[in-house]
Amino acid sequence: MSTARNSENKVRLFIGERIEHISDREVLATVCDVLEKGTEWAYIFANFNVNGRQVDVAVFSATITLVIEAKGYTQPIKGGVNGSWTQIGSYGSRKLRNGYTQALDAKNALRDAISELFGALSGYPNALLAIVPAIPSGSSLPLSDFKVATGGLDAIAVALRAMSGSLLSKEQCQALAAHLNLERVSGRDAAIHETVLLSERIVSSYESAFLEFHRPTGTLLVEDQYHLDDKLISASMILEMVLSSQSALLIRGPSGCGKSLLSARIATECIQVGVLPIHIQGKDFEGKLQKIIDVELRLLGTSVRDLLRASRFLVRHIVLFLDGYNECPEPLRMTLTRSLQAFSLRYGAGIVITSQGTLARQELLPVEAILVSPPQLALKLQLAKLNQEDENFTNCQALLEIALSGLEAELIGQAAASLPAGASTFVLFDTVARMRLGNFATSGIRALSGFAEELISQTAFSMSIREFDRFCDATNVTNMTRDAVLKSRLVLQRGDRLSFSHEMFFYAFMAESVVRIACKDSERVQAFLRSPRFHGSKALILGAMEDDSTLRDILEKTTDRDILESCVRGECGETAGSIMKVKLDVLLAEMIAEASELRFLLNDEGWFGCSIEAGVSRSTLSKFEVFLPAIGWFLMQGVYLEQIMAACRVMDGKIAEANRDLYKEARDKNVPLRHATFGQAYVFDHKIALSRLVSFIHSGGLRHTQGRELGDALNKSWNEASTYSEFYVLLGITRFTEQASWAASCVLDLLERLKSLPYHLQLAAVDFCAHLRNVDDAVKAKMIAVLKDSANKLGLFMNSIILDALKGLGGLDDEEENYRTVVLEEIESVFSESGPQADTEAWNIFSRQFDHPHESIYWEEVNNLASDQKRQFLFKALKGASTDYVSFVGILIHQLADFGDPAVSEAIEPWLRLPAKRYVIPQDTVEVFFAAHEAMGILGLPLPATVASSIDIDETVRACGELAYWACRLSHRELESSPQTLGARTTLLAYSASASAGALWSSTSRMLSSDSARTHVAKSYPNTALAVCRDALINRGVQKTYHEHGLRNDLACIASFSIQVIGQFGGTDDLQYLRSICDDEGLGHAALDAIRKIEERVRYRK
């Protein structure tokens, strides 16, 4: 038990040396017993020297200072206050030191030491000669007097109740202990037993070193709130979870949001409550967890063996903190998860992990996930240490609003005094770099931009210290500049390799190098912007451009959505933002003009045969879609709502005109004109600019945090809206904002006339209700009543949307428990009947757990079934599952296999057939195929014989299924050497130039697996997958996919997947080819990411 752990204990024990004599131990134990039963504070000093005198025990409290001399006499003693004493035994007598004198001398020596340290004190300490266990019968000793009391162990309690002089305060006791160089221990066991004392010394030394290293990091954390499920919690609540949770804690969030600071804070606070933290880095993991723990502990002055042994002796709980799980090389992440699980089980340790994403094989380690969001403006102001009264606040406010991480906010604060108004993100990083480089700013920035350029040219993310020295020589970087760069913390040395300390600094100096190379040549700058090598630097490059004409030329020609959005966000500086604002003003004016010139036609094209014919061709709108994210950002700031509402009014006029002019023709053609024109205008037409914008809004394009002005702008627009078009757009913008609850009364007005609305406005109005929270109870009640009245009146699909909305509003809560009876009767009928119909009903019940208004009731009752009943139910459900709708079949197969009953194979085997090549959601069929193979492997059953196909992609998918099967039967180390897998591996290698990578790609993606951890064939067979993907990448133009009519560019997806596999499992031999495709616009980004992973895995290996 550590010093820190007992900082609040009322009785504190200090020793000079471990207590060895039995009499001293028994006296100490009695003193501790008496004092611990009391309520007052006390200090105990034991077995120490003061001014040349040995003191057995001294006690300090608010009422007494007592010195105890302990003696272990077992035979009669004779003596007085003077002279030596005599012990009389059966075979004679022997001389002993005078115990009375020893007690008196010890008392006086202690008083002298106290006076020397604190000055003259009133009175003297008391003294007790304590004979253990009692004064032997036949003894003749001095009677107790005002100088020294004499007695057995029973006299100790009496002595401690007395009062004395020379009293000390708690602070003086602490100072005296430090003056005498006494050691604080947790209790009598540590004072008596050497093993416990040594353990305490190990732990105390470790805790001091741990706090010295990690406390400065933890103190940097600015208090925030964190998300646990749907609750907000504080850092102190996370500490409570660390102490009490049976699961590991996963602290997730984006880069720079403070995860590491939170981890360090919690770890240091663990020590205050008696828990031993161990803090390690995910990036250091190379396959053996104990190795990185031992390296870390040795840096803190101990070892894994010693600390774990000490924790067992002291009964101290251990919590292992792993910071940066996502920085662990990807191929090792599953091993890391398993290692954490093993460490937790073996040592009963808690686990706390920080990561940007989820864990590999997360089912191995049950976790509670705590989400850390990017900092909000208030927190960013704290991190930047700015407030509105600061003279530089205005300069920094815009930068803080666009800062995406705590790191950027801190940098803004550091650079605040010298940042110009409207500064770009590049200027921020440049300013910080200049601050860190000091007098070497000019030469240092030249060197660092050259360093970035060298890394880019090598397509590398680090270089050896030797390469760096040669680079400095070749570019005339002086030793003084070189030293300034290394001390600036802008670059970081790990092992013998140098890289930028943060990727944002790398991107910033890449941008600086581009500006220096391009020399205001806009064509060259655009070439850089198109290159995947500069993907992370695009906004920074524009922010570094200070020539307005060059910047304007670039922005006139670029169609890069990310760049355009970065400009309006202010990341590229004030000038770029102004240029973009003017451009968007023109576009929106053109959008309104375009809407005023269009007309609707009934020509058997479009939805219900309704289409739109545009008027004059407007070339300025030809690339309108690339500006949608930029317009969306402005919308969330409350800008452009008026223009969009104006466009909607124009469009609504055109719709009304068409509904009037085309009425007779529509009636003859049986076209629901009111629905057709509205749907074509806002959902199905992809040529008209307004149609594209509204579709973007309703499809989730508005992903930004709302700005301060949005609320007022929305309120104004809702109050002034009068047309269906305006309402439709406002529903899309408002539904996920803070104004949603305010707008509920307006939406209620729409619901009350729901039947008269165009179909897509009906959908939007009802769907809006499903997401509402914190609605006025009266409004909510009216919404529920209107929706219930509309149920079963607007068609089957609309009815399901209404039920979802009612559920979201709580309108089904009263019915839910009543519906439980229906569910129980349905389940009962499944068990009471047999045959295909009962099996089909079982499948229907199973699927309703995921897609039904009362799905929670279905889930509860299915999972309330007794084990044997549930197995029987799942067996019947799988037999009755429909091949037309297989979305939940994979989950069903996994759940059934978990029972471990081979008899269920009868229901699983039909799903081992190759999946359908044409299906609404193709991946669902693949999920089921692999789930069935894994289930057979889990159950240990043989796969049925199959007939070979002449179609290569069929054979490779079948081979992947077989490999997934064996991955569930064999140990991981056997998979690529076992004769059982040889045939399937040979098949994949035989078709590696055409069909194998596509099959592997199909095996890796997943939709709805029961635990989100379906076997990843490429991970289970890395060498085979690597060989296949190398070949596929070279022959990427002729690769095949299993499904017909895929929704994506399958060839590009397979190539990207192949690059990912190479990055995950490849080595330095792959770097040359990866570098050769880094400038490919489609694959370059994936290639760069793969290079980074290979470098981290291979070049940093110790």
Kindly state the tokens that stand for 1003: 């095996």
Q: Is residue 478 part of a domain?
A: yes
Q: Is residue 160 part of a domain?
A: yes
Last residue in a domain, options 192, 227, 260: 192
Of 682-691, 899-908, 998-1007, 1014-1023, the one with minimum mean pLDDT is 998-1007
Mean pLDDT of 457-473: 91
User: For position 678, what pLDDT does the model report?
Assistant: 93
Q: Is residue 1028 part of a domain?
A: no
For residue 485, pLDDT over 80 is answered with yes
Q: Tell me: the pLDDT tens digits for 180-208? A: 999 888 888 877 777 787 888 888 889 99
For residue 1101, pLDDT over 70 is answered with no
How many domains does one find in the chain? Answer: 4
The number of beta carbons lying within 10 Å of the beta carbon of residue 345 is 10
If asked whether residues 482 and 528 sit together in one domain, one would say yes
Buried/exposed code over 602-620 (b: 16+ C-beta within 10 A; e: otherwise):
beeebbbbbbbebeeebee
User: For position 559, what pLDDT does the model report?
Assistant: 92
Question: How far is residue 613 from each of residues 377, 662, 672, 694, measured CA to CA in Å?
Answer: 46, 14, 19, 18
If asked whether residues 423 and 562 sit together in one domain, one would say yes
If asked whether residues 215 and 358 sit together in one domain, one would say yes
Question: How far is residue 454 from each of residues 444, 468, 553, 663, measured CA to CA in Å?
Answer: 15, 10, 28, 69
If asked whether residues 163 and 65 sit together in one domain, one would say yes
pLDDT interval class at 7 (50, 70, 90): very low
If asked whether residues 522 and 542 sit together in one domain, one would say yes
User: For position 1007, what pLDDT does the model report?
Assistant: 38
Specify whether the backbone of 921 is left (phi greater than 0), alpha (psi in -120 to 50) or beta: beta
- The size of the chain, in residues, is 1102
Give yes or no for a contact between 399 and 433, defined as CB atoms under 8 angstroms apart. no
If asked whether residues 496 and 355 sit together in one domain, one would say no
Tell which residue, 148, 118, 147, has the closest CA to residue 131.
148
pLDDT interval class at 1100 (50, 70, 90): very low
For residue 135, pLDDT over 50 is answered with yes
For residue 851, pLDDT over 90 is answered with no
**pLDDT exceeding 90 applies to what percent of the chain?**
47
User: For position 258, what pLDDT does the model report?
Assistant: 79
For residue 1006, pLDDT over 50 is answered with no
Q: Is residue 1093 part of a domain?
A: no
Q: Is residue 849 part of a domain?
A: no
If asked whether residues 19 and 40 sit together in one domain, one would say yes
pLDDT interval class at 461 (50, 70, 90): confident
Higher pLDDT, 157 or 1097: 157
If asked whether residues 413 and 365 sit together in one domain, one would say no
pLDDT interval class at 707 (50, 70, 90): confident
Q: Tell me: the pLDDT tens digits for 145-163? A: 889 999 999 999 999 999 9
For residue 401, pLDDT over 70 is answered with no
Expressed as residue numbers, the domain containing 113 is 4-192
User: For position 587, what pLDDT does the model report?
Assistant: 96
Kindly state the tokens that stand for 168: 């000390």
Indicate the burial class of 1072 (C-beta count within 10 angstroms; 0-12, 13-18, 19 or more).
exposed
Helical (H) or strand (E) element with 1002: helix 996-1004
For residue 5, pLDDT over 50 is answered with no
Chain mean pLDDT for the chain: 87
User: For position 1061, what pLDDT does the model report?
Assistant: 92
User: For position 514, what pLDDT does the model report?
Assistant: 95
Last residue in a domain, options 373, 401, 436: 373
Q: Tell me: the pLDDT tens digits for 762-781? A: 999 999 988 887 888 899 89
For residue 3, pLDDT over 70 is answered with no
Q: pTM value?
A: 0.63
If asked whether residues 608 and 739 sit together in one domain, one would say yes
8-state DSSP, 684 = I
For residue 247, pLDDT over 60 is answered with yes
Question: Cis (ω within 30 of 0) for the bond into 133?
Answer: yes
Question: How far is residue 592 from each of residues 87, 636, 648, 693, 694, measured CA to CA in Å?
Answer: 115, 20, 8, 12, 13
Tell which residue, 338, 328, 388, has the closest CA to residue 362.
338
Q: Is residue 907 part of a domain?
A: no
Q: Is residue 873 part of a domain?
A: no
The CATH number of the domain holding residue 319 is 3.40.50.300
User: For position 1011, what pLDDT does the model report?
Assistant: 36
8-state DSSP, 144 = P
- Rounded to whole angstroms, the Cα distance separating 480 from 498 reads 18
Last residue in a domain, options 159, 192, 225: 192
Q: Is residue 839 part of a domain?
A: no
Residue 812 C-beta-side C-alpha neighbours within 13 Å: 18
- Rounded to whole angstroms, the Cα distance separating 1052 from 1039 reads 10
Higher pLDDT, 1 or 457: 457
Contacting residues for 348 by C-beta, under 8 A, at least 6 apart:
317, 318
Q: Tell me: the pLDDT tens digits for 305-341? A: 888 888 888 888 899 999 989 888 877 888 899 899 8
Q: What is the CA radius of gyration of the chain?
A: 38
Give yes or no for a contact between 1062 and 1090, defined as CB atoms under 8 angstroms apart. yes
If asked whether residues 87 and 163 sit together in one domain, one would say yes
If asked whether residues 123 and 13 sit together in one domain, one would say yes
For residue 25, pLDDT over 50 is answered with yes
If asked whether residues 52 and 39 sit together in one domain, one would say yes
Q: Tell me: the pLDDT tens digits for 602-656? A: 988 877 889 999 988 888 999 999 999 999 999 999 999 999 999 999 999 999 9
Of 34-48, 123-137, 389-403, 840-854, the one with minimum mean pLDDT is 389-403
